[in-house]
Amino acid sequence: MSGQRRLAAILCLALGACGTDGREDGEDSAGDLPPLTWPSTDSASDSGMATTSDTSVGSNSQGSGTAPTTESTVDPDESGDPPKFDTATQPDGGNGGQCDCGGDVGWSYIWVSNSNESTVSKINTQTLVEEGRYYTEPNPANGNPSRTSVSLSADAVAVANRNGGVTKVWARSEFCDPLRNGMPGVQTSMNSTPMQFAADDCIAWHADYPYTTQRPVAWTSGVQNQATCMYEDAAVWTSGCSPGADANVWVHLLDGDTGISLMDVNVPGFVCSGFGAYGGAVDSNNDFWISSNSSSSQIARIRLSDGSTEVINAPHWAYGIAVDSLDRVWLTANQAQTGDQAAQRYDPATGTWDVAMLAGGGVHGYSGIQEGTDGRMWLNYGYGGAIGLRWIDRDTLMVGPGIPVPGAVSWLNGISIDPDGNVWTVSPGANSVFRYDPVTATFASVGGLNNPYTYSDMTGSGLLNATCGSPVG
């Protein structure tokens, strides 16, 4: 299927507007979609596929690596325990349209970037065992990954490299290409030692981009097939640009199966400076929300339906971003922010901001944010001194007490929630991730990482919450 036809299929399924010929209502054919435009390196006046813009401010490639090889062979015909990530029970003849949102999700991995070595670690959230480590770039010296996003069915992760490029890695060996590296059977990393990029059969694709900053990455949910309860036609959002060459940031929608770009959008009013777009998350419409990290922070919405954009000024300096199960956008307070702000919440339905305050401050940091299975928004606090976890009541904006993280060093950044309701946070200084159980108030940790700077939807819980409209655990 061509890229344009696949995009048409994704849109018609997402909008529920497919005719008998598979076209979206009002479209003569999938071939009538506007031509896609690849970003130019001097794109001050370039435009992508999107031709409409609602702004509220002024206006596959695969390569080879050179790192040591560890070959761990998995027989694709091997039988044993069922995979952790089975997404649905599939009775004969379909499920009669009675599918649970998200399917019977059993995801139980967190994917953490090792920025210094251009790898991503696959860690079992229950056993605390690292079950694989994968390069995120054909040339490990060029990667520097920092954001990961897990698909709704938890069968794959997408990783964005700060130096440009996105890589997809399969989480389940049955989906890996047993002939990708030219040898029969599946060879893949099964511990903390990565294989060469071209040798690991579970690296699905790499989409190269010539950007100097590329951070946000987020899967769309895809559309649930009511006959099988499986999600199909999932895609990957990402954003990047090169300050000095691009006037505004670019956003791309990638085919989840191939990594080929389906839609390229230049976002008017979202200037390419500093880090460009810093974080990203999707809402229940699979629209992409991006944020900036600057004293004059902004967020932008890129709509899946037509690529149109909307840019909104944020009241305070932001860092982390998340979309909650009510489609509200949350931003944490950057450590450079002054005052008592803990986080800010934007409601697209009303166009209004609300701010969670904590008397005396003490919440600013390099913080991610994520909605827990308890309906609270979890985030990090502190930088260089007292550091730990806090929560904010999703609806009342009350800020909870500080929870120090033993063993963390200097600062914390990422936040994710696992299916058991545990809160995960990342400590680059300690080369570790920490798991906190809110019920027992106990911690566990996994070490042996390499500058694990990661703040994003590392487990897939954010996408699951946005898709299902309520915290899922």
CATH classification at residue 402: 2.130.10.10
Strand bridging mode 223-224 / 248-255: unpaired
Note whether 173 and 65 are same-domain residues.
Answer: yes
Note whether 17 and 107 are same-domain residues.
Answer: no
Note whether 7 and 109 are same-domain residues.
Answer: no
Note whether 249 and 131 are same-domain residues.
Answer: yes
pLDDT at 14: 54
Residue 430 located in a structural domain: yes
DSSP label at residue 175: G
Q: Range of 253's domain?
A: 60-468
Residue 52 located in a structural domain: no
pLDDT at 12: 54
pLDDT at 384: 78
**Ordered alpha helix ranges (H), 191-321:** none
Note whether 28 and 123 are same-domain residues.
Answer: no
Q: Which segments of the chain have a pLDDT < 70? A: 1-97, 103-107, 472-473
Note whether 408 and 362 are same-domain residues.
Answer: yes
Note whether 395 and 456 are same-domain residues.
Answer: yes
**CA–CA separation, 362 vs 32, rounded Å?**
54
98 CB neighbour count, 10 Å cutoff: 9
Number of domains in the chain: 2
DSSP label at residue 18: B
Nearest to 255 by CA among 162, 168, 174: 168
DSSP 378-425: EEEEBSSSS-EEEEEETTT--B---EE-TT--S----EEE-TTS-EEE
Residue 228 located in a structural domain: yes
Residue 365 located in a structural domain: yes
pLDDT at 441: 98
Note whether 291 and 440 are same-domain residues.
Answer: yes
Q: Which amino acid is at 101?
A: C
pLDDT at 96: 52
What strand order describes the sheet that includes 288-291?
279-282, 288-291, 298-302, 309-313
pLDDT at 362: 81
Note whether 454 and 336 are same-domain residues.
Answer: yes
pLDDT at 22: 30
Residue 184 located in a structural domain: yes
Note whether 233 and 116 are same-domain residues.
Answer: yes
Q: Which residues contact 227 (CB under 8 A, 6 or more apart)?
A: 94, 95
DSSP 316-375: S-EEEEEE-TTS-EEEEEBTT--SSEEEEEEETTTTEEEEEE-TT----BS--EEE-TTS
Note whether 267 and 326 are same-domain residues.
Answer: yes
Residue 42 located in a structural domain: no
User: What's the gap between Cα 52 and its chain centre?
Assistant: 26
pLDDT at 7: 66
Q: Indicate the pTM of the whole model.
A: 0.83
Residue 412 located in a structural domain: yes
pLDDT at 169: 98
Residue 205 located in a structural domain: yes
**CA–CA separation, 244 vs 264, rounded Å?**
19
Note whether 415 and 271 are same-domain residues.
Answer: yes
**Ordered alpha helix ranges (H), 138-268:** none
pLDDT at 387: 94
Q: Which two three-digit tokens encode residue 462?
A: 């954010």
Q: What is the pLDDT of residues 349-361, one digit of tens each?
A: 999 999 999 988 8
pLDDT at 473: 52
